[in-house]
Amino acid sequence: MRVISGLRKGYRLKGPKSKSIRPTEDRIKESLFNILHYVDEESLVLDLCAGTGSIGIEFLSRGAKKVYFVDRSRESIQCIKENLAHTRLDDGAEVIKGDAIKSIINFGKRGIAFDYIFTDPPYESVDLIYSIIENIYKSRILKEKGILIIEHGKSINLDAMICDFKLIDFRQYKDTCLSFYI
């Protein structure tokens, strides 16, 4: 696992010890950022269910202003902090150990809205995926021109419209899918 591009291109990232944490593969991460093209240097990013933090770190390496990393696992939080320190990108990061839904609601209460929200919940948690999307919508934490990216297993078919979010792109890589909403 490594940083694909930007300021810290080529830096190796620490992976999880636990098999319950499933990092996004480099080829999928590269494809994701090829689809997004350009990351504005004023971008605020939420890496929700962040795991190792590799997606958020990639956003920082490509110039995002700030990334919030949220995960409930103690091992993930430690891994994210170590990867941020190793890449020296911790100045643009806030790491939060907590529940995804409670964190979304809290961001809404704080008036924080994001240009990009990436979420990678456990693959078979279709109810959690829909709950995350609904709470993002209710809390209004995705900016008007923001993009919501959901990594999920191929067994989950997400609707083309969820709340007011419209599916604009979908990619499948063997067992992994990326769904893009605006």
pLDDT at 63: 97
Q: What is the pTM of this model?
A: 0.96
Structural domains in the chain, CATH included, are: 26-181 (3.40.50.150)
- In terms of Cβ atoms closer than 10 Å to its own Cβ (0-12, 13-18, 19+), residue 148 is buried
pLDDT at 99: 97
Residues 6+ away with beta carbon under 8 Å from 35: 169, 171, 178, 180
pLDDT at 19: 66
48: phi then psi, degrees, rounded to nearest 5: -100, 135
pLDDT at 147: 98
Query: Low-confidence residues of the chain, pLDDT below 70?
Result: 18-20, 123
> What are the tens digits of pLDDT across the range 11-64?
999 987 766 677 888 999 999 999 999 999 999 999 999 999 999 999 999 999
Its sign, for the CA torsion 50, 52, 77, 43, is negative
Question: With contact defined as beta carbons under 8 Å apart, do 67 and 93 qualify?
Answer: yes
Question: With contact defined as beta carbons under 8 Å apart, do 176 and 120 qualify?
Answer: no
| Residue located via tokens 């939420």 | 46
